[in-house]
């Protein structure tokens, strides 16, 4: 779908309205979507499409996924969570997952930032260098 500049501009304004102290407010998002749909404008799908993209990117930016080859003890999980909160700010939700395919180490993803200290990534880098 082709989105014109005016629809993008309006979607960005609506998105900024949904931020409270740099954290996305779920109720405001719901109200904005209901208001745009109720207005029945012709460019409603374009505005909502871009607005959805902005919300999705913001949610990914505040979600951390920590994958490890072995289950992590609670004290290590708390330390990782504290470090990520210091780095990315408050409002970060963290999910821990056990993934034996990593062989060893861990992989952390926050939005588009990926920190991969797994053995599997090291082997892949070694294979690529040959």
CA distances from 80 to 1, 33, 52, 83, 87 (A): 40, 35, 30, 5, 11
pTM: 0.76
For 29-40, what is each residue's pLDDT tens digit?
Answer: 999 999 999 998
For 54-73, what is each residue's pLDDT tens digit?
Answer: 999 999 999 999 999 999 99
Which residue, among 129, 127, 108, 128, has the nearest Cα to 118 in the 3D structure? Answer: 108
């Amino acid at each position: 779908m082709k989105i014109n500049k005016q629809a993008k501009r309006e979607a960005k304004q609506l998105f900024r309205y949904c931020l409270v102290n740099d954290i996305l407010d779920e109720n405001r998002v719901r109200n904005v979507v209901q208001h745009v749909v109720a207005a029945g404008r012709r460019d409603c799908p374009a505005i909502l499409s871009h607005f959805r993209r902005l919300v999705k990117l913001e949610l990914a930016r505040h979600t951390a996924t920590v994958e490890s080859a072995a289950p992590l003890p609670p004290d290590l999980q708390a330390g990782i969570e504290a470090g990520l909160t210091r780095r990315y700010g408050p409002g970060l939700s963290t999910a821990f997952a056990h993934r034996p395919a990593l062989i060893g180490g861990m992989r952390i993803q926050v939005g588009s930032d990926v920190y991969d200290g797994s053995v599997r990534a090291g082997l892949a880098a070694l294979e690529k260098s040959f």
